[in-house]
Chains A and B, each alone.
Chain A
Amino acid sequence: GENVEQHPSTLSVQEGDSAVIKCTYSDSASNYFPWYKQELGKRPQLIIDIRSNVGEKKDQRIAVTLNKTAKHFSLHITETQPEDSAVYFCAAAFTGGGNKLTFGTGTQLKVEL
């Protein structure tokens, strides 16, 4: 089955700096890669996703890049703000196989003032 590795497990940045979280996946059939943000005690919420026919996607201060050859994808957050502090999860799925997500183990992002 699919295996998703996520790094780093914790990340501390100064407000206004950029943050990058990286994930690798093992199954070359995976073609859907969402990112979720989870605040303490809350539900995971989708922040951005990318499909395998696209190399990069942006939404305001967040962007995701995908390298299918190397089987890795990354989340980029620019101009970080204290409200960006949360746990971020990457995931991968093959949409023809029931859309089952395999999640990474999460990155605790702390944005310091």
Chain B
Amino acid sequence: NAGVTQTPKFQVLKTGQSMTLQCAQDMNHNSMYWYRQDPGMGLRLIYYSASEGTTDKGEVPNGYNVSRLNKREFSLRLESAAPSQTSVYFCASSDTGGQPQHFGDGTRLSIL
């Protein structure tokens, strides 16, 4: 049972390049989330999907887009990467109704 799987684990991009971060969960959870973690700032919600077919903005959505491909998969896309998007990105999933969120191992993204 893998839980939440994120790919890639590490990535270096140049400013202006695009990239998609992949996330898949095998727990049959309805809700999925993308966070970014920066030093001293905790985790901040970028986008979330309460259920298959729906997506909503979180606290810091600018510069990102998401796709809830199916119940298992939720991808995050950077269309034109900027140095300010250098961060560790975590995907999470949960059942609805105030259930614990389970996190993936993260993607460490550096933008030069």
| A residues at B contact (CB < 8 Å) | 1, 6, 9, 31-32, 34, 42-46, 49, 51, 89, 93, 95, 98-106
Contact = CB atoms under 8 A, between A and B. Distances in A.
Contacts of A43: 90, 103-106
A98 B96 CA distance: 7
Nearest to A6: B42
11 contacts: A6-B42, A32-B98, A43-B106, A46-B100, A49-B100, A95-B97, A98-B31, A98-B50, A99-B31, A99-B94, A99-B101
A51 B98 contact: yes
Nearest to A43: B103
Interface residues of B, number: 26
Contacts of A102: 45, 59
A34 B98 CA distance: 10
Contacts of A106: 40, 42
B74 interface: no
A44 B100 contact: no
B103 A100 contact: no
A2 to B, nearest CB: 9
B42 A99 contact: no
Given A89-B42, A100-B45, A101-B45, A44 B97 contact: no
A100 B58 CA distance: 8
A99 B43 contact: no
Q: Which of A34, A43, A100, A105 has the most CB of B within 10 A?
A: A43
